[in-house]
A = this chain, B = another copy of it.
Amino acid sequence: MDRIPILRMGPFLLVTIQTDLYDRLALSLEADLVQMVSKTGARGVLIDISAQSIVDSFMGRIIGNIASMCKILDAETVVVGMQPAVAITLIELGLELKGVYTALNVERGMELLQSKITLPTEDTEEEE
């Protein structure tokens, strides 16, 4: 597999990481995501890591990088589906994922993004 598919869901992008993020794949994910955010004007990125049962410092760093890049492009990043063992490992490694929001699952992650981002809706639109 060359690249991880990025799904567009309304104003958000969804990425499900199912394989080990080795160097080249991680770099292409970073590039693809940033390009996609820029192209679609997405306001949020959801990264699902429920398939990851182990995590290392490289993966933690990559997620941090992606969040920082998206932030510059005005998109928030939420990591969802983290397994308890992964959370334990991350803290033991000293990686606190600063600047990255987390949520239990995709649904909650989407709610979080919705609340973080003031989307232009009919309710907030002011008439005259």
Binding site for B on A (CB under 8 A): 1, 3-5, 7-10, 14, 16, 18-19, 48, 50-51, 81, 105-107, 110
Q: Which of B4, B9, B10 contacts A18 (CB 8 A)?
A: B4
A106 CB to nearest chain B CB (Å): 5
Q: Give the distance to chain B from A116, nearest Cβ to Cβ, in Å.
A: 18
Contact present for B105 and A8 (CB under 8 Å): yes
Number of copies: 2
Task: Check B5–A48 contact: CB distance below 8 A.
Answer: yes
Interface contact B51-A7, CB-CB below 8 Å: no
Q: List 20 A-B contacts (CB under 8 A).
A: A1-B19, A1-B51, A3-B51, A4-B51, A5-B16, A5-B48, A7-B16, A7-B48, A7-B50, A8-B105, A8-B107, A9-B9, A9-B106, A9-B107, A14-B106, A16-B16, A16-B18, A18-B18, A18-B19, A19-B19
Q: Which residues of B contact A10 (CB under 8 A)?
A: 107
User: Which of B5, B50, B105 is within 8 Å of A50, CB to CB?
Assistant: B5
Q: Closest CB-CB distance, A62 to chain B, in whole Å?
A: 17
- Collect the chain B residues with CB atoms within 8 Å of residue A19's CB: 1, 18-19
Quote the shortest CB–CB distance from A15 to chain B (angstroms). Answer: 9
